Structure 1
């Protein structure tokens, strides 16, 4: 093993301070893999070629993986032709080095331990790299100083290191998956209302989708004026309020139907968003709050609502122009610090992509990157993510203005990445836009008839909304009828007689 020791010494010489490494363990593992190719199955899921400190060892490991993947034997004889021209192997005695690696058959016994140590040391080197980059960036003042951006970048890099050190992926047996399914069904039974996830605050919607499920991306979309932001905010508030109630009732966090929530509000300020919530709870309109045109009793109601909700686990980030990478870094931080269980993004078209593409890249590709990033965030943090989305103007060109999946603006992969797509539609909005002339005495009978017909239609839809479930990976699609109080931007379940008939597809 003299050559192995020489590799270790030469590899560590250029560095002013030796990085964490164990070249002997790398050599022992490679020897074990060449002696018994079946060991490859045990280590390849976790260990990559770049985890090896010595580049030559990384190339040998990669060659072993390629050969075993092709169902070929990987040993010193079959690997020799691949390394005859390798300059690094010439420094340690040529291709005969491969045979020397297999000199100790005892290494087979400790192969898994060697692999784990190599992996752990690689993580430590990655951590050192993040630290060095952070120090160098903080010391470099030659460009515009942006410490917050550097912190976010460091958090992202640290999370990647932590993520790489997570548990290995594994296949679940049918029995294990069945147990998880039974636990979900039991949770739904105990919570009532068909809830297997966290509540939306709307009984009808909960019954359709079982609540908001972990790792799901839920898109709430609609044309301007439909109330899509209000709906997403209503659901977020209900989730946070239910968490407080469950805590007061002594329900364990893992069994709670609510959760702390984070709203990334790229359109409205935190103050505007909170004003909406307080308006809904105090029954004082946002206009009255903004203008101060309210009575002492109304102000007392508003202040009381603010006091009651002061400790609500409802966190708002209203930083404009966030990139998808920055949003993910901030969401991870809130998950770690506040234990959030739901993320709301309002709205996803205001997010920016990574900016790595060329200037010619179109907006559709950027939106695809953003929707894919939100879905990845939902899976990484194991929580539902609600993305508010705009719809294209194609809706306005049709006689029936109910949205369709094809109306998702710059859709790219939004429809593909989403687990659930909800469209908000209020016929009242369009009827008001086409309100006919109020008849006066002396007008033709046609004017009276047109206004009476419009008035009859308006009375049927006034204060109501349709929630169209256009996509649902967990069940059927259809429609839910909701009440909408425009003065307080509040959605709620309608009275029973106002419910739409069952429409499942």
Structure 2
């Protein structure tokens, strides 16, 4: 091949990170030429490789621009060949350096056979992955060598996040992305909502009243679910997690992976309750048999048989529980990443926020909680799943006449409110009314009893903040015997 037609040397942009020595970095220009030639010769090649091969995987920047332009045109339904691309690259300085628009014809001459094109695409992808591994390794080496205040644990977390992103997407996270990339994701979300009979673009909570307010649980959202002790926040989170797992459905993809089409695989970090306590609640919800009766052994033969049968029916639900107390946020994130890689993960629940530890703990409680919420939000974005984190409320709620919670009642409220996409409060008026019980069989008691009977099953989920929707209240029902929340009309 004429020297004038050899692709130009790649000069990497300076992003402030240690650079890979790209003159020795793994690459194969012939494979890139063969793939692009095949693509220009037969546009169907694009549909065979586009699910895993992206612009950033090309070593030569001119090849990357050609692939990007061709992808854009094919995506619009246009035919692409050297003649059509000529008008797009007549003024491209990079292409001029390697022979101008005639180089497009050279690519077509170098075209691989259509059946072999996918193998060339795999070569390009794998070499790009190797270059990213070198970059991550060099960056970690520099960070670990420098005398900085960054704790080794933090370096491990950062490196693990980069490696997870590389394993999941074929490219490390970060960097500017074209507007059309985000636009395509938005259209996918709108299409999902349109196709769903319930009009949800996210995962259903199992509660229609709440779904109507939220539109479901959305990927990458950090959702704070707060309440005073015994108000039912753990019960509500458990109900949601159980419903999501029960409704898990998937479709097998051509590449052997599974795509979730409803419900989801759930990871539940129970830092306060043991695994046994949590599963007992789930059994109670599923069977309608009181959890207290289960714990006290107050079941008749039929009820006992019903509980055993229910356990067999739900034992294989995709609900994974970690009851490690006082777990460090780095360990939680690492476990979530492994779960995502091994079996998939569609929803994370953390019960509760104030029990998660962080390396910022030595700097004070506010700084620690702020660090935890920031990293939970980052984890939600990284894994592209909703994260529900439960949170305690301060005692100042009890000192007000109107005890409905508000944003200022959040403990360490500044960081939690700032990082959360959604803040919800569980409120049951009956909880406070029950503590106002007057003396038995007095006129006051009879009035109290009437009022209590009217509200005892009522519950509210107050949405105090929502980035992509209105605030408001979802009215639902609560069954204290099974600690279960339901829609009022179904109660």
Task: Tell me if TM exceeds 0.5.
Answer: yes
Write the mapping of 1:177-192 to structure 2, written as runs, cut at 5 A. 177-192=182-197
Q: How far apart, CA to CA, are the structure 2 residues paired with 1:180 and 1:116?
A: 24
Contact 2:17 2:139 in 1 (8 A): no
How far did residue 457 of structure 1 move?
1.9
Write the mapping of 1:273-284 to structure 2, written as runs, cut at 5 A. 273-284=278-289
What is the DSSP-based 3-state SS (H/G/I as helix, E as strand, rest coil) of the residue aligned with 2:414? Answer: coil
Q: How far apart, CA to CA, are the structure 2 residues paired with 1:151 and 1:295?
A: 52
Alignment partner, residue 338 of structure 1: 343
Q: How far apart, CA to CA, are the structure 2 residues paired with 1:290 and 1:156?
A: 43
Aligned CA RMSD, in angstroms, stands at 3.4
Alignment partner, residue 48 of structure 1: 16
Q: Does 1:455 align with 2:449?
A: yes
TM-score normalised by the chain length of structure 1: 0.67
What is the DSSP-based 3-state SS (H/G/I as helix, E as strand, rest coil) of the residue aligned with 2:398? Answer: helix
Of 110, 122, 143 in structure 1, the residue corresponding to residue 135 of structure 2 is 122
Q: Give unpaired runs (5+ residues) of structure 1.
A: 1-27, 34-41, 55-104, 134-149, 440-446, 499-505
Contact 2:221 2:420 in 1 (8 A): yes
Write the mapping of 1:226-305 to structure 2, written as runs, cut at 5 A. 226-244=231-249, 254=259, 256-305=261-310
Contact 1:187 1:255 in 2 (8 A): no
1:313 and 1:156, CA in 2 relative to 1: closer, same or farther beyond 3 A?
Answer: farther
1:159 and 1:183, CA in 2 relative to 1: closer, same or farther beyond 3 A?
Answer: closer
Alignment partner, residue 177 of structure 2: 171
Contact 1:220 1:424 in 2 (8 A): yes
1:239 and 1:247, CA in 2 relative to 1: closer, same or farther beyond 3 A?
Answer: farther
How far did residue 402 of structure 1 move?
0.2
Alignment partner, residue 485 of structure 1: 479
Alignment partner, residue 37 of structure 2: none
Q: How far apart, CA to CA, are the structure 2 residues paired with 1:153 and 1:304?
A: 48
CA offset digits 1:90-114 (Å, max 9, x no partner): xxxxxxxxxxxxxxx99x87xxxx9
Write the mapping of 1:348-363 to structure 2, written as runs, cut at 5 A. 348-355=353-360, 359=362, 361-363=363-365
CA offset digits 1:207-245 (Å, max 9, x no partner): 11110000000011100111000001100111111114x
How far did residue 119 of structure 1 move?
5.8
Write the mapping of 1:215-226 to structure 2, written as runs, cut at 5 A. 215-226=220-231
Contact 1:217 1:374 in 2 (8 A): yes
Of 392, 395, 405 in structure 2, the residue corresponding to residue 393 of structure 1 is 395
How far did residue 52 of structure 1 move?
5.3
Contact 1:365 1:412 in 2 (8 A): no
1:120 and 1:486, CA in 2 relative to 1: closer, same or farther beyond 3 A?
Answer: closer
CA offset digits 1:265-301 (Å, max 9, x no partner): 0001111101100011112211221121111100111
How far did residue 264 of structure 1 move?
0.4
1:253 and 1:427, CA in 2 relative to 1: closer, same or farther beyond 3 A?
Answer: farther
1:486 and 1:159, CA in 2 relative to 1: closer, same or farther beyond 3 A?
Answer: same
Say which one has the larger Rg. Answer: 1
Alignment partner, residue 201 of structure 1: 206
Q: How far apart, CA to CA, are the structure 2 residues paired with 1:381 and 1:180?
A: 15
CA offset digits 1:391-443 (Å, max 9, x no partner): 0001000001000000001223101111111100000010000111112xxxx
Q: How far apart, CA to CA, are the structure 2 residues paired with 1:178 and 1:128?
A: 37
Contact 2:20 2:138 in 1 (8 A): no
Paired residues, number: 371
Contact 2:202 2:219 in 1 (8 A): yes
Q: How far apart, CA to CA, are the structure 2 residues paired with 1:353 and 1:402?
A: 31
TM-score normalised by the chain length of structure 2: 0.68
Q: How far apart, CA to CA, are the structure 2 residues paired with 1:178 and 1:116?
A: 26
Q: How far apart, CA to CA, are the structure 2 residues paired with 1:328 and 1:192?
A: 34
CA offset digits 1:171-228 (Å, max 9, x no partner): 333x554443333222123222221011101111111111000000001110011100
Alignment partner, residue 407 of structure 1: 409
